[in-house]
Structure 1
C-alpha cells in the first residue's frame, strides 16, 4: 500500500518524511489540478478574477461542506487556519476584565494571537492545565469547566493539539460553554481529513481548519466555519471589494451576492485561489484510494512505533490511544538537546521529524501518512536508540519513502 502511494507524492525519495503534521504533503494528481487552475488564471486573469471568481469559489465550499457536515453558507475559504482564528479573535467584542479560557496545549502562534487581543482589549487569558496522561473525556471536561467563571467570555480549544498531538474530546465543553453564553472558538488546524467532522452537530460558534494538512491540498487552503447566528459578529481583517456599508443590517447581502460573511472574507484584493479550488480534487483522491483503510494502516503504524519507543524509554505516553490523534503521536523521549537531536536525525539518517521541548518534556512528534512505511518506522526507532543511547532496538538501517 505505502509503496504505491509514495509514488503518488512529490516528496524527495532521499528524505524519510515523518512530519506531515506541520505542512502536509500534496499528492501528484491534486498538485496537477492546482497547476491547471493556475494556468487558467494566467490565461485570462480578468475573466478568472473579475467575472468568474464568485461562482468558482462556491464549488469547493459546496464539496467541503458535504465532507464537514454543514452547508456552504456556513464556511468561507481562506489561506490558513491561523488567519481564520485571527479574524474571529479580533472580531469579538471583549472588554477589560473579560476572560479568555484556554489550555496549556495550544499552538504558539495562537497563543500570541490571544495575547495581542488581550493587550488591545484588556481581557485576561486564563490557562487551564490538562491533567496527563489524558485517559477519559470526563477528565478533560472537568478541567475545562473548572476554569469557567462568570467573567469567561471565550473558550478557545484545539481539537487536535499541535505540540502534544492529543485529540481533545471537546463536545461537552462546547455544550457547557453554550449554556453559559460563552463563545466557543476551535482551532481545527489538524482535523480536516484526519478525523470525521460534523461541524453543525458539534455546535462550536467558530471553527477554523486547514485543508493543506491531512486533506492534502496544496499550501494555502483552509476554511472558517461560523454558526449562522454569530456570522454577523465577524469583521474582515482587510476591508476590500466584498464589503458594503450595510453589511450589518438584517438580511444584508455582500457585494457579490453571497452573505457578508462570505463576500467580506473571500473577496479581499488580488490573490491566487488555486489551492482552495483543489479541494474537490483532494476529496476525489482520497475516495479513489480508499482512504479510510489507509488511515487505519497509518494509525496502527503510529501507535506501534510509539509503543516500541515507550518500551525502550520507560516513559509514560501523554494519553491513551483513544485520545491520541489517529495519525500523529507526540512521543516523550529522555531529556536531551532537542535541537541537536533534530539536526542529527536529518543529517545522519535523512529523517525529517520535529523534536522539541514542551514544558519539561522532550518530544519527538511522529506523523504517519499513506506514503510512509514500516521500514521507515524501524529506521526511526533505530536512530533514536543510537542517538539517545537507548537499549533494546535493532541497529538503524536505510529506508526510503517507499
Structure 2
C-alpha cells in the first residue's frame, strides 16, 4: 500500500471504516498463524457450498471472503457519491494502485499492463487490432481453448486480407518437450505465411504446461509474433513477463489468484503499443494504451481494484511456496488414487510438462454409455452438468483421442474427501450402467 492510497481511503467515511477493518483482520490473521489448508480454510475463508466437492477451480476460480469484502468496499464507496468517485481521480488512482500490485506480482512494468475482463477479451483485443498483410496466417494448436479458436476463425473470415487459419496437431502420448517444439518448428518452416502464433502457457482441457520460452524463440527466429494465452498461469506458475520476451501475454486473475470475476490483465510489449486497442472505443481514443483500456463508459471496476486484496490474501496464506507445495502434492495424490481406483491411467505426458495444480485421469470403462459418434463440447458440458446435479461434484470432462478424461484441479480449499467423492461418483455410474446392460 502506498501513502497515496492510504490518503485516498480516508476521503470517505465508508472507505476509512472498511479499509481499517480489512487491515485489522489481515494483521489478526498474521498474529494467530496461518489457517490450515483444506477443510479449515474452506470453512473460514470461502463461501463454497458444503454440499459440493469443488475440483474444478481452473474454470471459474473461487474468491475468498476478505477479497469479497474488499470489493464491496469499493462498490459502497462508488455508490456513496458516484460523481465524486468517477469524475475525480479516485477511481483512476485505485486502478493504478491495483495495476502496480499486479505488475509487481507478474514481473512486469506497470506501463506495459492493462486490465481486461478475461483472457478471451484480451486476446480478442490483440488479434482484432493486428495489422495483417494479404495472405498472412494465424497459428493455433489442436489444444487451443475453443473460444480462442473461434476468435481466430472469425478474424480470418471477416478480413479482406485472405487470411489463413493453421493448426498444429499435438497428440498423446508426449515423450518430451522437444517433441512439441519440433512440431511447431516444422509447421512454421512449412508455412512462412504465419504472422502470429497463439500459444497456451497451460492448456485448458489437457493441463499441459507448454515450453513457451522455447516456442517464443522459435517463432521470433522466423519473424512470427507470439500471443501467450496465460489463462491458468498467474498464481499457478511464477511469472516474469519482462524476461519472457513474448509480444503479448494475457492472464486471468480470478482462477488461481483469488481475484473476483471477471478480472485479467493484458501485457503488451512496448514495440506494439501503438497497434493494440480495446474492443470498445470510448472517450480516450488515440490516447495512451492504459487510458484507452481504462475508461470505456461507466463501468464497475471493483473487481480490478480488488486484485490488490487478492494478491495480499495469496501472500498472507504463505505465498507461492506454500500454495504450490500443497496443491502439487494434493493433485498428484488425487491422480494416482483415481487411476488406481478406476484401473485407468493419467495422461501420458512428461512430468516437466504437467500443470502444477491440474491433472488428467482417464475415466473408467463403462461409466459413460450411449456415446454419440461425434462427441462435441456441448455434449461433454451437458454430461458434466448431469453429473454435478446428481453427485454434487465439480470437474471438467474432456474427450481426447476417443476416450473420456477427467480434469482435476487442486487449490488450498480442497481436501482428500473431495477426490474420494469424485472416485465414488464415477464408480457408481459404472455400476448403474452395468445393471442396464
TM-score by length of 2: 0.82
Give, in whole Å, the separation in 1 of the partners of 2:346 and 2:40.
35
Q: Alpha-carbon deviation of 1:339? A: 5.9
Q: Does 1:324 align with 2:354?
A: yes
Judge conservation of contact 2:346–2:361 (CA < 8 Å) in 1.
Answer: no
1:147 match: secondary structure: helix
Question: Match for residue 396 of structure 1?
Answer: none
1:232 match: secondary structure: coil
Question: Match for residue 21 of structure 1?
Answer: 58
Q: Alpha-carbon deviation of 1:316? A: 5.1
Question: Match for residue 122 of structure 2?
Answer: 84
Judge conservation of contact 2:139–2:165 (CA < 8 Å) in 1.
Answer: yes
1:242 match: secondary structure: coil
Richer in helix (by share): 2
Q: May I ask how many residue pairs the two structures share in their alignment?
A: 376
CA offsets 1:56-84 (integer angstroms, 9 cap, x no match): 21111111111111110000011111111
**What 5-or-longer segments of structure 1 have no aligned partner?**
245-253, 255-259, 391-402
Q: Does 1:102 align with 2:132?
A: no
Q: Alpha-carbon deviation of 1:187? A: 0.7
Question: Match for residue 4 of structure 1?
Answer: 40
Question: Match for residue 309 of structure 2?
Answer: 281
**What 5-or-longer segments of structure 2 have no aligned partner?**
1-35, 372-379, 433-437
Give, in whole Å, the separation in 2 of the partners of 1:36 and 1:353.
32
Judge conservation of contact 1:339–1:356 (CA < 8 Å) in 2.
Answer: no
Higher deviation after alignment, 282-291 or 337-346: 337-346
Give, in whole Å, the separation in 2 of the partners of 1:378 and 1:265.
45
Question: Match for residue 215 of structure 1?
Answer: 257
Judge conservation of contact 1:100–1:153 (CA < 8 Å) in 2.
Answer: yes
Higher deviation after alignment, 190-199 or 231-240: 231-240
Q: Alpha-carbon deviation of 1:272? A: 0.3
CA offsets 1:111-153 (integer angstroms, 9 cap, x no match): 1100000112221111111242234221111111111032110
Give, in whole Å, the separation in 1 of the partners of 2:223 and 2:234.
27
Higher deviation after alignment, 207-216 or 1-10: 1-10
Give, in whole Å, the separation in 2 of the partners of 1:36 and 1:316.
44
Give, in whole Å, the separation in 1 of the partners of 2:381 and 2:128.
34
Q: Alpha-carbon deviation of 1:175? A: 1.1
Question: Match for residue 242 of structure 2?
Answer: 200
Q: Alpha-carbon deviation of 1:359? A: 4.9
1:265 match: secondary structure: helix
Q: Alpha-carbon deviation of 1:340? A: 7.2
Task: Give the counterpart of 1:156 among 198, 207, 226.
Answer: 198
Go from structure 1 to structure 2 and tell me whether the alpha carbon gap of 1:166 and 1:15 turns closer, same or farther (over 3 Å shift).
same
Judge conservation of contact 2:176–2:349 (CA < 8 Å) in 1.
Answer: no
Give, in whole Å, the separation in 1 of the partners of 2:409 and 2:402.
22
Q: Does 1:243 align with 2:281?
A: no
TM-score by length of 1: 0.89
RMSD of Structure 2 on Structure 1 (CA): 1.8
Question: Match for residue 399 of structure 1?
Answer: none
Give, in whole Å, the separation in 1 of the partners of 2:410 and 2:421.
14
